[in-house]
Amino acid sequence: MKFVIIEGSSFQPSQKELAMRLLAFSLITITLLIILSTSAQAQSDPRNKLVGNWVGESICTANHPACNDEKVVYRIHLNPNNSSSVTIQADRIVEGKPVDMGTLDFIYDPRTSSLTCDFSRGRTHGLFQFSVEGDLIKGVLMLLPEKEIVRNIKVKKSE
């Protein structure tokens, strides 16, 4: 279809064409608003500051023969199934190479800047308690029900 405008004449779109243009404009506007809203929510999620790699050490505090001081790397990801938690995949470094220690979900409380994880593996029942202070996470691993602190952990966010 070709429109030719002749000088002095005017083209008036039909009501149907105006309605279609308005509908298209409305759909584009709604789509943009949804995108902007989703982006703003993602930016305001307090868990975002935790996402990334954290490197540091896990130091034994108890006299357990199986316990060794370790260099560790924590890889923190948002948990898409729970808006109040993050997933931490932990590696220890052995001879310069990462060795998987497992993955756990931690509850993040932005009011207290704390991460906690109560877990059971085999006969071990433990509790990780961490505080987040900018680019530093530090805390302990406690064995339950004795409440014996077996590790002091300190990791710093890596670039």
CATH 3.90.226.10 fits 47-157, yes or no: no
- With a pLDDT cut of 90, the percent of the chain lying above it is 60
**9-13, 34-38, 107-111: least confidently modelled range:** 34-38
- Distance in angstroms (rounded) separating the CA atoms of residues 141 and 117: 9
Q: Select the more confidently predicted residue: 82 or 58.
A: 58
d(CA 83, CA 100) in angstroms, rounded, equals 25
Sequence-ordered list of residues with C-beta below 8 angstroms from that of 79, at least 6 positions apart, any chain? 85, 86, 87, 105
Q: What is the pLDDT of residue 25?
A: 73
Band of residue 26 on the pLDDT scale cut at 50, 70, 90: confident
More confident residue, 60 or 11: 60
Please provide the size of the chain in residues. 159
Give the count of beta carbons closer than 10 Å to the beta carbon of residue 72.
19
Cα–Cα distance, 101 to 123 (Å, whole number): 16
Stated pTM of the model: 0.70
